[in-house]
Structure 1
């Protein structure tokens, strides 16, 4: 009974986080994969994913087809489960033992599911895996909990600073590299109905995702918002609103809203990810823009996005591992990451990909990836995230001073970490 209560408690917190990124589609594709074999004697394993984009779904199907044709012992079937349903299906399935063999989850959810006992401990497999040391620190650390590996990265993305080249040139400023330079540039770029900088700061996981680079750049860790460094990060962003360089409306804006502000010349600079590149080009084909790393305080920092593969505990673990190793091969990883708009999580693959290294935009996100840190990892990340996004809202709306908002958030975080 205690286990069931713990699972349901975790489900409630994670569903709230997942609702930010709700997918579309039917939830009927939730059949389980126990010991199944087709007429040819192949073992069938099932992979659950929540990608609702046609290109992403096709990429998943292509990856499975390529693996199936590469050998004659394992048949991979991919099944789409809407993100709004995935957490519930995993949790209920864990209690009822009705689960797939492999699951793809957002990297901050990895720790929660691992703590619930969903994913197999693959530490021994990882320690003997020849590609283990090739992963960037952020992506591979998101797969660990209490020193053990429970997953392996699918692919990664991060945040960087988009800027309007013409606006910066007209204002006589260079792309900023430090907090001080950014503050000065944002002030000079603010004119009429154009703000110098825009970030997304809603009271949810998306807001936390956008805030973390500023916190981490001060040298603070994700659980140190209430220290002097953490307070300074909140003070810095709040001051940008107070001096008019950033709109008060950022508390309502999503990352998609940032793209619209940018292409309509309402924001000279925004923090966003590579997923908006094609949209920017489509919405404003004549816009003269570039990307640089997020300016730093003490150190460069960014936030890690992307998903992780996890092998369901007790479900064809050997066969699932064979499939996951196949996904990590250079040609395979480059192919699906291109379809996803992701960067390979392995240095040896990403840094030998000319389409990334020689692209003036993607090369910046690649450079940023070495500084991108995961959210947590911690089994109760949703509660930690809520404390941080709440602090942003309180500070940005002047409901509390940055110091008080940060210290109150720290109290909540400390209670979670006990």
Structure 2
């Protein structure tokens, strides 16, 4: 795939940004394009507007940037896809790309000669549908183990690297008013997202949810709750709730992402660290899910506008912009070489950079059938943690649900 991109790659020498030429190339007639995303937070919207403006100038256009709430983005896109009235540049959460590309609403990026060299394989796959790349993510994210340094030091507990070490550490860190470990196990895709590293790293697969490897992963969470090392309230906690518990000193360790770092740094007298999530046994490779958004060029009525949008997309994914976005938003650059430099410059992100090396797109195995499996997984988590079913029983039902017509 990288070779295909490389063969087609062109350089915009005047701008220093990745090029977009060929059919639908830029013409003097196009002076503005539109961009749509779900960055409705005022600060985040302003940051992206600034970045889009910069890349728009490099491409010779102004970018009219609009944001809508996340829940309304996909319905809006689906309504406008058939009429070819989508924006010129469209941001999608990476698991949604499969569904939208499947409608024929997006254009393959290789036709614009966009440089995708150096992207990690898992990150490229997040923007790929049926062998063609339709979206690129300037930066990505994933989850890791965050821990309270003072609590671990006082208890004489080392940062756990295996599941057995995790259970032992969580038990030793638990005391009245404090749990050793916290996860988000709620009945949403967030709950599934947090469970995936344990499932995948143990050799489990969403195509076969009733496997022994999947049951072992779910049993770990059950054991943590049953032992009292993890609160039963994790069944209802969001990732934000888990963060709040950690900051308040009510849990010593948690699974969470780099989007929490800014708030952690503002917490007074909180000394925290971050490490890759533990695996079941030494030697297993850690596999975490990829978070982040891909930028795409939809089919529109104007080939010239598509060409300009592709130039802006390429610019967003150039190393300098990628690095700037990562530092600004505490995410991981998608090009491996840029990520390595970033880890040295921002040490608190080093564990996330390492975890991204082996990260996997949630849709890599099931494509647009992923949401059904994700729902079955979080339903099984709920059933097992409440004691309604054993992990084996819950996952057997999950497999039946995920594969039913």
Whether TM-score is above 0.5 comes out as yes
**Deviations, residues 371-405 of structure 1 (Å, cap 9, x unaligned):** 22221242132211110000000000011110010
Query: 1:309-351: per-residue Cα shift (whole Å, max 9, x none)?
Result: 1110245332222111111222222222322222111112222
Q: TM-score by structure 2 length?
A: 0.87
1:408 alignment partner, SS class: helix
Deviates more, 1:63-72 or 1:244-253: 63-72
* Stretches of structure 1 lacking an aligned partner (at least 5 in a row): 1-34
8 Å Cα contact 1:293-1:365 kept in structure 2: yes
RMSD in angstroms over aligned alpha carbons? Answer: 2.0
* Equivalent in 218, 224, 244 of residue 234 of structure 1: 218
Comparing 92-101 with 150-159, greater Cα deviation is found at 92-101
Aligned partners of 1:219 and 1:299 also within 8 Å: no
Match of 1:409 in 2: 398
Could you tell me how far apart the structure 2 residues matched to 1:220 and 1:146 are?
24
Q: Give matches, 1:23-102, under 5 Å.
A: 41-72=29-60, 74-102=61-89
2:289 aligns to what?
303
1:329 match: 318
Q: Using the alignment, how far apart are the partners of 2:59 and 2:40 within structure 1?
A: 28
Q: Secondary structure of the equivalent of 1:381?
A: helix
Are 1:255 and 2:239 an aligned pair?
A: yes
* More displaced 10-residue stretch of structure 1: 219-228 or 312-321: 312-321
Q: Provide the residue aligned with 1:135 in structure 2.
A: 119
**Contact 2:261/2:330, CA 8 A, preserved across alignment:** no
Partners of 1:215 and 1:123 in 2: CA distance: 34
- How far off its partner does 1:130 sit? 4.0
The residue number in structure 2 matching 1:397 is 386
268, 276, 291: which one aligns with 2:252? 268
CA distance in 1, matches of 2:129, 2:226: 40
Structure 1, residues 131-176: CA drift from partner, whole Å, max 9, x if none? 33x1122221111122221111131011000111121122221000
Pick the aligned partner of 2:270 from 264, 282, 287.
287
| Matches of 1:402 and 1:123, distance apart in 2 | 44
Q: Are 1:191 and 2:175 matched, yes or no?
A: yes
Matched with 1:167 is 151
- For 2:114 and 2:393, the matched residues in 1 are separated by 47
How much does 1:43 deviate? 4.0
Q: Is the 8 A contact 1:197 1:267 kept in 2?
A: yes
CA contact (8 A) 2:82 2:105 kept: no
Contact 2:59/2:308, CA 8 A, preserved across alignment: no
